[in-house]
Structure 1
Amino acid sequence: MDYNPWRDARDNFADYLIDRSRELPAGLKGCVKGKTIYICRTLNQFSRRTTLSHELTHIVRGTNHVLYLSQPREELAIDKLVARQFIHIDKFIAAVPFGGKSVPAAIADDLQVDQHTLRTWVHNLTDREREYIEIRLQERDHP
């Protein structure tokens, strides 16, 4: 089953309120203050999903007090975890258009993630994963 952060929040973080009614400061998609998770109201559906997952991961790791500018390593670590939650390698391959002409925005939409999450996932692939993707795309596009 695919990861659903809204279900995760309902089932495992019921004591937290999710507030999507506010516009957050520029560059801030979400944050946790006390028992409230703030998700910027200007985000699209996919960005809300990944941002909620990001904030839930902060809570699990006990780093919900971390500000992006003060702990970029923690933010990157969480971004990597979130990307792995949402993007499975075979679903990524299925989302890449035939012929190899890929448009990141279209792939991200197919995977129901924001472009930042897709970029994070791609940039952190292992050599084995890259090789696997390359082989599968070759097999698919040139049977």
Structure 2
Amino acid sequence: MGKWTADGIEIDGTSNQAERRCTLTHEIVHLERGPVPSDPHLAMKEERIVECITARRLISLEKLIDALVWTRLSVNHETAEELWVDLPTLQHRIRDLTDSERRYIDQELERRA
């Protein structure tokens, strides 16, 4: 949804606000980390790291818990909208939760039940 040009970051004009926010953050993380490796395997690994950093920057653990409570533990477009991100970014955040984050979420959800 975004790419670098000679003039800067170009974001797909059909993107909605949450998609633009995620794309811009993603591209900024690429800028901070430096060039993507030319080796396809390493490039894929770098992309996964960038996706993880992007999701963590945009979705705090507390906001994730609030959204999960609001949407009754659903990980869908409604939850993503609540967090003002696109669904893939939400899915990356969920996928990359640490064990301690998962335990904390479970404890918080139980406490709020």
TM-score by length of 1: 0.70
Give the counterpart of 1:125 among 90, 97, 112: 97
Q: Which residue of 2 aligns with 1:81?
A: 53
Check if 1:90 corresponds to 2:62.
yes
Q: Which structure features the higher share of helix residues?
A: 2
Q: Indicate the percent of aligned positions where both proteins have the same amino acid.
A: 36
Look up the equivalent residue of 2:102 and give its one-letter code. Answer: R
Work out which of the two has the higher radius of gyration on C-alpha atoms and give 1 or 2: 1
- Stretches of structure 1 that go unaligned for 5 or more consecutive residues are 1-28
Q: How far has the Cα of 1:60 moved from its partner?
A: 1.4
* Runs (5+) with no aligned partner, structure 2: none
**Contact in 2 for aligned 1:32/1:65 (Cα 8 Å):** no
* Contact 2:71 2:79 (8 Å CA) reproduced: no
User: Secondary structure in 2 aligned to 1:42?
Assistant: coil
Deviation track 1:36-88 (CA, whole Å, cap 9, x = no partner) reads 2110111111010010011111111122687x998211111111000010111
Residue aligning to 1:72: 44
Q: Structure 1 runs of 4+ off > 6 angstroms?
A: none
Greater relative contact order: 1 or 2 (C-alpha under 8 angstroms, separation 6 or more)? 2
When structure 1 is superposed on structure 2, of 124-133 and 33-42 the one drifting more is 33-42
* 1:139 alignment partner AA: R
Aligned-residue CA RMSD (Å): 2.3
Deviates more, 1:124-133 or 1:93-102: 93-102
Alpha-carbon distance between aligned partners in 2 of 1:114 and 1:104, rounded to the nearest angstrom: 10
TM-score, normalised with respect to structure 2: 0.87
